[in-house]
Amino acid sequence: MRKGFILVLILVSILFILSSCSSSFFNHAPKILNLIINPTNLKVGQVVNIRIEAEDEDNDALEYETEIFKGNMKVYTSHQNEFNYSPNQAGEYIVVATVRDEKGATDTKEGSFTVVENNPPTMEIILSANLVVVGQSITASISVHDPDEDQLNGEYVVKSPDGATVKDGNFDETGTVVTFLTTLAGTYTIEATVTDGLSEVSERKEVQVIESAIVITNPSSGERFSTEQDVIASADVDENVNMVRFELYRYPDMINVDFLEDHTEPFSWDMGVLDQGDYLLKALAFVNGDGDPIGEDSVVFHVVENHPPTVSLTVPSTHECCDDLVVEWIATDTNLTTGTLLMKYHDISEDVVSSSVVLDSPSGTYSFHPYVGNSTITVVFFDEFGKSASETKTVEVQDTKQPKITLEVEDLEWVTDDSPSILVLVFTGHDVYRRFKVSDCSTFILYRYFEYPGGHLEETSFENDKTFEREDFLNVEGTFGASVVATDSNGFVSRIISFITVDKTSPEAFLSVPSSSCGNFTATYTATDANFRGATITVDDATLIGVPKAENSTITLDIPKTFDNEEVEVELRVIDWAGNESQVTQTIWLDTREPNFQHNIPNTLTSTVVSFLATFTDNGFVKDATIVKYSGVGTLETKYKVSPISKTVEIEGTITVPSTSGVNICLEFTATDSCEHLTDSTQCFEIDTE
């Protein structure tokens, strides 16, 4: 038993020893196929990729270790078969890669890469101008360079003074040229940035844009000067301008007459007295006194020979104060501008009034109303160079007419004018004001007011008054008469007589008409009013039948044949002179139209036997409806379909004719209504039965 156990133990030991010898003697070490370093030349800040490609014949799991050395110093270790590394210093770098299998067998491989410092790119922005006027264009040239000849990427943006983007874009190592238009005053900026992937460079330039570099303030465009005046040029400029060059040219040959360079503000040029002609003045603004101007302005002005104006004034020597005075003027001069009409005259209160009117035409008329006394009229005209001409006339204003008396009643007005007296009759249906106004262009000395009925007299004397008013309020019914007589200081007399009737009472009206009628009928009416004006009668609303004029009348009304047994309104309307009116309405039953008749017999009979229906209608009733006559060939048979006395009567009939053509037959239809209005109709028809 013990020998067997020892034997087994010996056998197991032998197997274990054999197994250990086999693993040591038969393992294959891993092998690094490739150590890939990309790139092998790079710049500080760039990334190098390192990848180990290895294999193991025994398919053992592999461990990786890569060490990076700069000189004798290890700067990085990785246990990945692939990784990235970004060096931050220039120099030579050694890469040592080791691969180890599960049994500790290894393989090692070395490589290297070189790192150099990066040289950043350079950039320059060159502007076509640093100061321009609104509306001008700017060109910006962007040039770039990279010492390492790297690929470059850049972008630019142009912004206006309000911050808005005017233009933007991209460029490469060749640079770019940017052109943009200025539309606002202020500072435009152009910013550009360029990068080689490692370093970035930016630059910013500014352009000042002004509204106007220069504006000529004198002379103005189109201004005219005389050959006796000095002409002075002046200009307003931007604060950046330090020199102005004035240049003067004469049309049409455009010869440069003269010029002046002014370096001191305010910029001006006294050109003195110039010959007659048309001139062009140019002003150029400079920033540094040389180079191109940043702006310019120009005006055209004219120099003319000056002759003083002439003027004539036409005014009558005497004038009636009650009328408007008309003055006429004529001024002549090629350079006239404005004129003035000066007047001194007496007003209604005899005060002396001075007034003036600006005249905008070299000729014309003007009217005003002076009162008695001497009036002085002066007209003055100025030319554009300050020379003037004037003329003065005196007119004697006289009073040769009688006073004016005006009567106002409501919106009505009566004026005596040139008539010595006037009679006015007024009717009104309500309370009313009566106003008398008396006026005279000199003075009236006596005013008489006589009122009737009653015979009341008022008399007033005056010394210097030119106007007077009297007002009465008439608020009761009746007729009020009054006369006004006015006498002025020259003995002229005016008179007005008025009668105003206040009538608030409507007329009394009565109308009588029969209850019915078969045609024209007689209407009796009565219209009572102290101020009766007229009456009208209408039938069926707007149909005017008569226009009676008398207060009490009987009238026969001619009724049109449009009523067929129907009730109609008859209206009487009475009106007085004060506008008061009354209306009375009566009703009457009218029948003025004969019965209506129709049939269905064709115009041409194409059959030997024709049946028909004849119909008579009336709003009252139809009687005696019949066919009283039949003429021609053939026969007629009839019978009443509806009773012969009713609102509608129908007769059925049959016409029998032989076969023939070109022959006519005729039928006469008759009927009457309750008013004995007769319908009589003969109808003829052609036979064509062959």
Query: What is the model's pLDDT at position 305?
Result: 85
What integer is the mean pLDDT of 33-43? 94
Token pair listed for 349: 């209160």
What integer is the mean pLDDT of 248-265? 81
Query: What is the model's pLDDT at position 157?
Result: 96
Looking up tokens 């206040």 gives 502
Query: What is the model's pLDDT at position 532?
Result: 85
Query: What is the model's pLDDT at position 405?
Result: 86
413/431 Cα distance (integer angstroms): 17
Query: What is the model's pLDDT at position 348?
Result: 62
Would the pLDDT of 417 be above 60?
yes
Would the pLDDT of 374 be above 60?
yes
Give tens-digit pLDDT for 60-75: 999 999 999 998 999 9
Name the pLDDT band for 141 (thresholds 50, 70, 90).
very high
- Tell me the percentage of the chain whose pLDDT exceeds 90: 33
* Phi/psi of residue 603, nearest 5 degrees: -65, -30
What integer is the mean pLDDT of 469-495? 86
Would the pLDDT of 455 be above 90?
no
* Domain annotation for the chain: domains and CATH numbers: 31-116 (2.60.40.10), 122-210 (2.60.40.1930), 214-304 (2.60.40.10), 310-398 (2.60.40.1930), 404-502 (2.60.40.2470), 508-590 (2.60.40.10), 596-688 (2.60.40.10)
Torsion sign, CA atoms 469, 472, 473, 474 = negative
Would the pLDDT of 549 be above 70?
no
Question: What DSSP string describes 553-575?
Answer: EEEEE---TT-SSEEEEEEEEEE
Query: What is the model's pLDDT at position 136?
Result: 87
Encode 559-582: b = buried (16+ Cβ within 10 Å), e = exposed.
beeebbbeebebbbbbbbbbebbb
Token pair listed for 159: 């912004």
Of 242 and 452, which is predicted with more confidence? 242
Q: Do residues 115 and 89 lie in contact, with contact meaning Cβ atoms separated by under 8 Å?
A: yes
Most confident of 29-33, 540-544, 554-558: 29-33
**Residue at 272: amino acid letter:** G
What integer is the mean pLDDT of 420-444? 83
Give the strand pairing for 456-461 and 421-428.
unpaired
3-state SS of 2-66 is HHHHHHHHHHHHHHHHHHHHHHHHHCCCCEEEEEEEECCEEECCCCEEEEEEEECCCCCCCEEEE
Query: What is the model's pLDDT at position 534?
Result: 81
Give tens-digit pLDDT for 569-596: 888 888 888 889 999 999 988 887 888 8
Would the pLDDT of 625 be above 70?
yes
Most confident of 349-353, 458-462, 631-635, 681-685: 681-685
Q: Do residues 390 and 358 lie in contact, with contact meaning Cβ atoms separated by under 8 Å?
A: no
Query: What is the model's pLDDT at position 9?
Result: 57
Give tens-digit pLDDT for 632-647: 888 888 888 777 778 8
160/620 Cα distance (integer angstroms): 98
Q: Of 270, 273, 276, 277, nearest to 228 (Cα)?
A: 273
**Residue at 244: amino acid letter:** V
Would the pLDDT of 22 be above 50?
no
Give the strand pairing for 581-590 and 516-517.
parallel
Q: List the alpha helices (DSSP H) in 521-611.
A: none
What integer is the mean pLDDT of 540-554? 61
Q: Which of 22-26, 323-327, 407-411, 636-640 has the lowest mean pLDDT?
A: 22-26
Instruction: Provide the 3-class DSSP secondary structure of residue 315.
Output: coil
Name the pLDDT band for 18 (thresholds 50, 70, 90).
very low
Encode 453-467: b = buried (16+ Cβ within 10 Å), e = exposed.
eeeeeeeeebeebbe
Q: Which of 349-358, 372-381, 527-536 has the lowest mean pLDDT?
A: 349-358
As a whole number, the mean pLDDT across the chain is: 85
Token pair listed for 6: 């020892």
Q: Which of 75-89, 130-144, 371-385, 651-665 has the lowest mean pLDDT?
A: 371-385
Give tens-digit pLDDT for 187-196: 999 999 999 9
Would the pLDDT of 630 be above 80?
yes
Q: Do residues 109 and 32 lie in contact, with contact meaning Cβ atoms separated by under 8 Å?
A: yes
Query: What is the model's pLDDT at position 13?
Result: 56
Query: What is the model's pLDDT at position 523?
Result: 80
Query: What is the model's pLDDT at position 365?
Result: 92
Query: What is the model's pLDDT at position 96?
Result: 96
What integer is the mean pLDDT of 297-308? 88
480/472 Cα distance (integer angstroms): 10
Which 8-state DSSP code applies to residue 504? -
- Tell me the percentage of the chain whose pLDDT exceeds 70: 91
Would the pLDDT of 81 be above 50?
yes
Would the pLDDT of 6 be above 60?
no
- Contacts with 13 (C-beta within 8 Å, 6 or more apart), sequence order: none
Most confident of 179-193, 444-458, 474-488, 676-690: 179-193
Q: Do residues 529 and 601 lie in contact, with contact meaning Cβ atoms separated by under 8 Å?
A: no
Q: Do residues 406 and 436 lie in contact, with contact meaning Cβ atoms separated by under 8 Å?
A: yes
Of 143 and 239, which is predicted with more confidence? 143
Name the pLDDT band for 256 (thresholds 50, 70, 90).
confident
Query: What is the model's pLDDT at position 31?
Result: 95
Q: How many CA atoms lie within 13 A of 448 on its CB side?
A: 13
Q: Is the pTM of this model over 0.75?
A: no
Radius of gyration of the chain (CA): 63
